[in-house]
Amino acid sequence: MQTTDSADGEMKGSDITQIAANSMPFVVSIQNMSVKQVQDFFGGIREQEQQRGAGSGIIVGQNDSELMIVTNNHVIEKSQTLTVTFHDETSVEAVVKGTDATKDLAVVAVPLKQISSDTKDSIKVAVLGDSENLLVGEEVIAIGNALGYGQSVTNGIVSAKDREIEMEGFDSKLIQTNAAINPGNSGGALLNMNGELVGINTAKISSTDVEGIGYAIPIHR
């Protein structure tokens, strides 16, 4: 597994194309599956797997046996099966290691023994930045599994910091950005122009009266 170069290495001064290429290996897609009981034509009951939703995740580390991925709690809640898809389009099952609904955060893990050697060689661990150093107006990049289509890249600026939103049970101050955040981007990466992870995309305002307001959970080193 590779480690992404820090801002003081080759990433510094990179444009969006280079940052995207260097960052996609640490962003994953997450499919949340559950099982429901349905009645068949003959009146019998059978179980049917259905997708509850699709989101994103970020590889943030590994230990001797597992790859650790951070995402949003709402991406993985009530799941019975979680599938993680890496940027090379290989997929493996994951398990939930811990959650914090008040921060809308969760950590899931993939056993290293389930990951092929080729995939291990191609994926990376994100370099953590510090959202405290972000400036309003600073350019940022969002990467995630928008609409469940696979990884996509958008860019924008930091519109504001320390924003609070009304969401039941949620307690966190967020980064506001006008980078496009769409369904499926939840749990994905918000990066500064050094390619460092400064936020975890979590929400947007959906209204015909509103345009270009998305939110990310800040990352503090």
Binned at pLDDT 50, 70 and 90, residue 13 comes out as: very low
In terms of residues, how long is the chain? Answer: 221
Measured CA to CA, the distance from residue 155 to residue 11 in angstroms comes to 17
Active-site annotation holder among 104, 131, 159, 172: 104
Q: 191 Cβ partners below 8 Å, 6+ apart?
A: 19, 23, 129, 140, 141, 142, 143, 197, 198
Active-site annotation holder among 14, 131, 172, 186: 186
Measured CA to CA, the distance from residue 66 to residue 68 in angstroms comes to 6
- Predicted model pTM: 0.85
Active-site annotation holder among 14, 29, 56, 74: 74
Q: Examine the residue annotation and report whether 74 is marked as an active-site residue of this protein.
A: yes
The whole-number average pLDDT for the span 72-89 is 92
Q: Examine the residue annotation and report whether 65 is marked as an active-site residue of this protein.
A: no
On whether the CB atoms of residues 91 and 84 are closer than 8 A, the answer is: yes
For residue range 18-76, list pLDDT tens digits in order: 999 999 999 999 998 755 545 555 555 555 455 567 899 999 999 999 999 999 999 99
For residue range 175-210, list pLDDT tens digits in order: 999 999 888 899 999 999 999 999 999 987 765 566
Q: Is the model's pLDDT at 129 over the cut of 90?
A: yes
* Residue owning tokens 């259905």: 50
Measured CA to CA, the distance from residue 92 to residue 97 in angstroms comes to 16
Q: Examine the residue annotation and report whether 104 is marked as an active-site residue of this protein.
A: yes
